[in-house]
Amino acid sequence: MRVVAVASILCVSLLVSSGAQTARVQVVPNEAGRRVDVIIDGKPFTSYIYPETQKKPTLFPLRTAKGTLVTRGFPIETRPNERVDHAHHVGLWLNHGNVNGLDFWNNSDGLPAAQAPKMGTIVHRRVVEAKGGADRGDLAVEADWVTPDGKTLLREQTRFVFRGTADSRTVDRTTTLTAVADRVVFRDSKEGFLGMRVAKELEQPSNRPEVYTDASGKPAPRAVNNTGVTGEYISSEGLKGDAVWSTRGRWVLLGGTIGTEPITLAILDHPSNPGYPTHWHARGYGLFAANPLGDKEFGAANKEFNLTLEPGQSKTFTYRVLILNSVPAPDKIEEASRAFAKEAAPKTTQTR
């Protein structure tokens, strides 16, 4: 995977230098590499990847405007001093832990074979549109949510919009899920929904011994390792740190420093989404997720949130992810959230 990634970036560099693309934001499909690369101002930002070894498409990795990696490398491009837990936490993704009894969240090649019958897979089908521009890049894709025996439960249409400035990067993700032949029930689960796994420096400090990679990227004995760890969650409701987990909010930011670079990540919920404002499955070890479908598992007494789609029925979810080169400023995130809330939820391309 590392060789493919390097080769892809070199290919993109050749396209840029040859003048084949002149847009500020470039969206470059690489079908042979099973990826679409996103470049802003000539610098790699992220890639939509769908290798056959992965159980869902993801955006991986994500970078700041300065080029700093803000997502964990494991298990694709392992770096020193990373946790090696949760092999299904890759980049930025969207799925759920209980869909008609199947687990789409925890699926990965790292699971024992005996777990396979319990797992669902999201299979990339095609790139519908890949378009760059002066102010934004658009990527529209289609995928299927598939059972272990190959039956399609859901058809997915997703549109990504990528933007960037000298000190920011933005991803908008709008996903429409349509039930195919059967009733589909998203059952109440904490394992969901829009998630990202952040770089070690953006985790919150911990006193628990964990398995980290050594200087060569291989797992080392358990240890407490807070070297460079600087992260802290802050929610729209004013909660901080571990207190954010399970609570509802319009947005949550994760602030920290990588090297000398101040960084703020933020996920913004949209009022059109089911369960708005969402619960936050925000863990100190680096999982940063918005989950509107987990009332009971997040502690609501005698209350479940089971979302049902009848055959042919659809539901759309839209989120905005901010990657800022700045110290955490809740007032700025609140301002961005209000602006996002006023925008109409974009439409995905319905083609099947």
* Residue range 255-289, pLDDT digits in tens: 999 999 999 999 999 999 999 999 999 999 999 99
Rounded mean pLDDT, 80-97? 96
Distance CA 110, CA 117 (A): 14
Q: How do the residues of the chain divide into helix, strand and coil, expressed in percent and rounded to 5?
A: 10, 40, 45
Judged by phi (left if over 0) then psi (alpha if -120 to 50, else beta), residue 100 lies in: left
pLDDT over 60 at 16, yes or no = no
* Res. 110 pLDDT band, cuts 50 70 90: confident
* Site of tokens 């890759």: 90
Q: What is the pLDDT of residues 29-81, one digit of tens each?
A: 999 999 999 999 999 999 999 999 999 999 999 999 999 999 999 999 999 99
Asked whether the predicted pLDDT for residue 150 surpasses 70, the reply is: yes
pTM exceeds 0.85, yes or no: yes
Do 231 and 198 contact (CB within 8 A), yes or no? yes
CB 70 within 8 A of CB 196: no
- Residue 324, both tokens: 């800022």
* pLDDT-derived band at 316, boundaries 50, 70, 90: very high
As a whole-number percent, the residues of the chain with pLDDT over 90 amount to 86
Q: Identify the burial level of 147 via C-beta atoms within 10 angstroms of its C-beta, where 0-12 means exposed, 13-18 middle and 19 or more buried.
A: middle
Is it the case that residue 5 has pLDDT exceeding 70?
no
Ordered by where they begin, the domains of the chain are 60-342 (2.70.98)
| Alpha-carbon gap, residue 130 to 351, rounded angstroms | 15
Q: Is 244 exposed, middle or buried (0-12, 13-18, 19+ CB in 10 A)?
A: buried
